[in-house]
Amino acid sequence: MTTSETAPRTAAEQAAANAATGGLRVVDGVALPAAGTYVLDPTHTRIGFVARHLMVTKVRGSFGDYAGSITVGDDAASSTAEAVIKTGSVDTGTPDRDAHLRSEDFFASETYPDMTFANARVTGQKGATFTVVGDLTIKDVTREVTLDVELDGVAKDPWGNEKLAVTATTEIDREDFGLTWNVALESGGMLVSKKVRIEIEAQAARQS
């Protein structure tokens, strides 16, 4: 984690900065959420992915059934996150493709209904950008993944609820998790890319 080159704020300076942002913590010029547990809001969150079809076309999908939380510590290094995603909720906008993704060729959703992300920890920070490392489990195969996480903002809604918003991205090799189905193309390459980009746009509400 990077350290600030400026002198630490006095208590009075920190209090004044916090007051200017509605009571939110300001560290090195970055408004940070108050310590606590923030639960993902499904009405303002998207957990999606992008893969290549025929080596050229981008196919996008998302998962509609999930639960997760971000626990903010007194500093970034003590913050954590976790999520459980129902593989059967995959949605690419094409029913036949979604059924194939739920089948034994891919997620095997009846046998492995849950995909999980756990043991997340912050390993680096530059301003409002964080490097987060955690354990992703798909089909009972666990691999460590690294996410680039951007703190998009911290705010209170009109009813006084504290919210935070983040964008997180990473890229995985699906074959590392046992999702190995593919078809070779006569022109070379494969029908479905091995590399899959994960894209998360999340809003979470602080629990009282």
Sorted by sequence, the CB contacts under 8 Å of residue 71 that are 6+ apart come out as 36, 37, 38, 79, 80, 81
Sorted by sequence, the CB contacts under 8 Å of residue 196 that are 6+ apart come out as 49, 50, 51, 171, 172, 173, 174
Confidence tier at 56 by pLDDT (50, 70, 90): very high
SS3 44: helix
End-to-end CA gap in the chain: 29
Res 17 pLDDT > 50: no
Average pLDDT, the chain: 89
Distance CA 168, CA 58 (A): 19
The reported pTM is 0.85
Under CATH, which number does the domain 33-206 receive? 2.40.128.110
Contact criterion met (CB below 8 Å) for 116 and 84: yes
Distance CA 202, CA 152 (A): 9
84, HSE (Cβ side, Cα atoms, 13 Å)? 4
Please tell me what DSSP assigns to residue 1.
-
- Summarize pLDDT for 137-175 with one digit per residue, the tens: 999 999 999 999 999 999 999 999 999 999 999 999 999
Q: How do the domains of the chain map onto residue ranges?
A: 33-206
- Summarize pLDDT for 109-143 with one digit per residue, the tens: 999 999 999 999 999 999 899 999 999 999 999 99
- Summarize pLDDT for 169-200 with one digit per residue, the tens: 999 999 999 999 999 999 889 999 999 999 99
Distance CA 158, CA 155 (A): 10
